[in-house]
Amino acid sequence: MFRMCVVLLIFSSIYTVVVGAPITVTGYRGERVDIRCTYESGYESNPKYLCKGECNIGNKVIMVKSGSPAEDQRFSLSDDRTARVFTVTITDLRLEDEGQYWCGVKRTGTDVYSEIVLLVKHVGGGAPVIVTGYRGERFDIRCTYESGYESNPKYLCKGACNIGNKVIVVKSGSPAEDQRFSLSDNTTARVFTVTITDLRLEDEGQYWCGVERSLSADVYSEILLLVKMVVVGAPVKVTGHTGERADIRCTYESGYESNPKYLCKGACNFGNKVIVVKSGSPAEDQRFSLSDNTTARVFTITITELRPADEGQYWCGVKRTGTDVYSEILLLVKQEPSYFSTTETNPQSSSITVSDQNKSTDAVSEIYICVED
């Protein structure tokens, strides 16, 4: 019986002693937060510490402990033995400080713990504002601020906007590195505006309107910027066959007769626009050609000797001042021959027509495929 008791005592010593339910503490980035840890009478002289994460034996990440300076000097610990409360202070609070912590009291055998869940928020907060702009156009992001901050510096930050990794795209009083970005501040209306010209798909993402403060954390409001192309109609799937000729017919609206037209392959991003053929210039791949019937307002791309590598996403593009207008084509290239018979006189040809209405609420796309053996 004595041996059995010894075994039970050994096993009981490996369990964690947790006091109370988890406590949630909220702090704000750049500011100071105090985590208060109470303990019972009799532990006044015991060492105390703050542990981050699961705080397992062999993987105990102690952020700060009594009697020793912390490795991260933003953390400090003070112990009020009269009140039986030790306080961990974190200065210059950061987003990466968020997480699970444990207030620990060291004992012979098992330490005593109380769980802390630390949340770190931006000052200002509020729900993110979702804004949408169109590629190639100009876009304004309007950031409001409270009275008293009229003379404070303002800026726009991209991404998580963490301390040590703050990507400021533009700041008041300084030209932006990317000259497409500029900032103006209307102190009367308490609104600063960030203007982005020639909007690009890679501009899409999370931003923060920031108001700089000297003695406390900056104030932020979150912006989620979506960048879209001006696309007419739904994507049209078309099918051609290896070795044959395919005609892609793209209609456009009145007023664009003299505008340049082109066919772009792939995502057709700014800076990565693969134009396979454009009006007025011979294509690098001479299998591609473009003709424009300005009377019918249709430009036609002809592809001869269709190949499997031609398969993919294309865009019929009409160049405009500002944002170009696109209609999407998904081209499928198959190996097997077609068995359709028509009265057309053009042998072994596929005619593909994409019709769109740029300003109509009901976009219509038509496909005509004519193949003769």
Position 136 confidence tier, pLDDT thresholds 50, 70, 90:
confident
Question: What is the reported pLDDT for 343?
Answer: 38
Tell me if residue 96 falls in helix, strand or coil.
helix
Question: What is the reported pLDDT for 163?
Answer: 66
Question: What is the reported pLDDT for 193?
Answer: 97
358, pLDDT greater than 60: no
**Contact status, residue 93 vs residue 77, Cβ threshold 8 Å:** no
360, pLDDT greater than 50: no
d(Cα 195, Cα 172) in Å, to the nearest integer? 12
Rounded to the nearest 5 percent, the helix, strand and coil shares of the chain are: 5, 50, 45
Angle made by CA atoms 366, 263, 341, in degrees to the nearest 5: 40
8, pLDDT greater than 70: no
Can you give the pTM of this predicted structure? 0.53
7, pLDDT greater than 70: no
Question: What is the reported pLDDT for 125?
Answer: 62
d(Cα 27, Cα 34) in Å, to the nearest integer? 9
d(Cα 203, Cα 4) in Å, to the nearest integer? 68
Question: What is the reported pLDDT for 61?
Answer: 93
Who has greater pLDDT, 269 or 172? 172
371, pLDDT greater than 80: no
Percent of the chain exceeding pLDDT 70 equals 83
Q: Write out the two tokens for 63.
A: 């952020």
Least confident of 53-57, 199-203, 334-338: 334-338
Find, among 286, 282, 291, 300, the residue nearest to 350 by Cα: 300
Q: What is the pLDDT of residues 251-307, one digit of tens each?
A: 888 999 999 999 999 988 766 789 999 999 999 999 999 999 999 999 999 999 999
Whole-Å CA distances, 88 to 32, 37, 96, 118, 351: 11, 8, 17, 12, 74
Question: What is the reported pLDDT for 345?
Answer: 40
